[in-house]
Amino acid sequence: MIIDTGMNRPECLTAISSGFKEIDVDLEKADFFVTHIHADHSGLMSVLARDTSTVYFSQVEAAIFDHAGSWLEEQANFARMHGFPEDELRRVFKSHPGSRYISKGHLDLHLVRDGNMIGLGDYLFRCIETPGHTRAHMCLYEANKKIIVSGDHILGDITPNISAWSDEENRLNQYLISLDKVQDFDVELVLPGHRGTFKNFRERIQQLKYHHQVRADEVLSILQEGSKNAVQVASEMSWDMTYKSWGLFPSMQKWFATGEAIAHLRYLEEKGKVERKVEGRKIVFLLR
């Protein structure tokens, strides 16, 4: 079983095909499990899957494929209300990997939900729905072997992007609840979707919780100066980037940063610590 596929672009196909050759993977005998809808995890599944393949995918997120042509425009309208500039939006539309490198063509999916079991040789994986990074991100947990395939839910030395592009969900709160959901699992090895494997499972969960508390406190500190829109808040947040100023951030990085700022503002709003108001058709936030 192949878990996640990389983006639908020639460089990714070359890299993963080389890896398959190195370890003697026969795609005619391979199944796939996709942890979530993002293009860097799902993009190549329609290229790699064969007629003999079973492709496991979240039942909740499969419905998003039906709206693949409209989601970016909907997010752009939402971003405009939060102060994202039009010239930056045009650049995001041209370069967004979620629209450029997605899976193309129809693919029959085997839909899974939280708690479903997948047997594979002497492995028995349980599907664990962990919303936050996406609407219904899925991990795989093997209790007997004490392994968790964490996708983008828990990463070892970077933090998953938790963005909000709708007022319908409190993504950061969902993410924190999802961390609580898995923290008591007996895990000796974490297989994440990015960078290296790691073993300090519970310690890393605590680090991620602390990170978001620090970020929330930082947002509150920024709003002490007065009401600001989400882009203004994002521009004053601290980012682990090599660019010396917000103005030098590429448009896509400003997009991801603004999504994270909105997620933290939405979280603080539901906690009753900030409130919003509309100024000239734009949303601003202020301390309550």
- Distance between CA atoms of 194 and 221, rounded to whole angstroms? 31
Is the pLDDT assigned to residue 268 strictly greater than 70? Answer: yes
Question: What pLDDT score was predicted for residue 192?
Answer: 98
Q: Nearest CA to 32 among 115, 133, 186, 138?
A: 138
One-character DSSP codes across 60-110: HHHGGGGGTTTHHHHHHHHHHHTT--HHHHHHHHHH-HHHHS---S----E
Type of residue found at 104:
K
- Distance, in Å, from the CA atom of 240 to the CA atom of 258, rounded to the nearest integer, reads 15
Check pLDDT > 90 for residue 100. Answer: no
Which domains does the chain carry? 2-287 (3.60.15.10)
Q: Cβ–Cβ contacts within 10 Å for residue 161, how many?
A: 15
Q: So what's the pLDDT on residue 86?
A: 95
Instruction: Give dist(CA 139, CA 130) in Å, integer.
Output: 7
Q: Which of 32-36, 90-94, 170-174 has the lowest mean pLDDT?
A: 90-94
Q: Which residues pair with 189 in a beta bridge?
A: 147
What pLDDT, on a 0 to 100 scale, did the predictor assign at position 72? 78
Cβ contact 147:187 at 8 Å: yes
Task: Quote the CA–CA distance of 13 and 45 in Å, as a whole number.
Answer: 10
Token readout for 15 is 């890299």
- pLDDT band, very low/low/confident/very high, at 104 (cuts 50, 70, 90): confident
What percent of the chain lies above the pLDDT cut of 90? Answer: 88
Band of the pLDDT at 107, cuts 50, 70, 90? confident
Predicted confidence at residue 212, as pLDDT, reads: 98
* Confidence band for 105, pLDDT divided at 50, 70 and 90: confident
Question: CA 157, 159, 162 angle in degrees (round to 5)?
Answer: 165
Mean pLDDT across 179-191:
98
What is the C-alpha separation between 236 and 288, in angstroms, rounded?
Answer: 20
Instruction: Name the band, by pLDDT with cuts 50, 70 and 90, for residue 97.
Output: confident
pTM over 0.85: yes
Q: CA–CA distance from 216 to each of 5, 44, 177, 195, 275 (Å)?
A: 33, 36, 16, 26, 14
Q: Where are the alpha helices (DSSP H) in the chain?
A: 10-22, 39-42, 45-48, 59-62, 71-81, 86-95, 97-100, 171-182, 201-223, 230-236, 251-270
> Using one digit for the tens of pLDDT, what is the confidence trace for 144-164?
999 999 999 999 999 999 999
What pLDDT is stored for residue 39 in this prediction? 93
Share of the chain above pLDDT 70, in %: 98
Mean pLDDT lowest among 16-30, 83-97, 180-194, 245-259: 83-97
How confident is residue 186, by pLDDT bands cut at 50, 70 and 90?
A: very high
Distant-in-sequence, close-in-space partners of 258: CB < 8 Å, separation ≥ 6: 79, 82, 84, 230, 231, 234
**Pick the residue with more confidence: 71 or 235?**
235
Residue type, 11: E
Q: Categorize the per-residue pLDDT at 64 as very low, low, confident or very high, splitting at 50, 70 and 90.
A: confident
Span 99-128, mean pLDDT? 93
The predicted pLDDT at position 68 comes to: 57
pLDDT of 70 above 90: no
The pLDDT value recorded for residue 47 is 96
**CA pair distance 176, 7, nearest whole angstrom:** 27
Neighbours of 21 (CB within 10 A): 9
Residue 66: predicted pLDDT: 61
Residues paired with 110 in a beta bridge: 56
Lookup: tokens for 254: 């400003």
Model pLDDT, residue 69:
57
CA–CA gap between residue 192 and residue 201 (Å, rounded) = 11
Q: Report whether 267 contacts 274 (CB < 8 A).
A: no
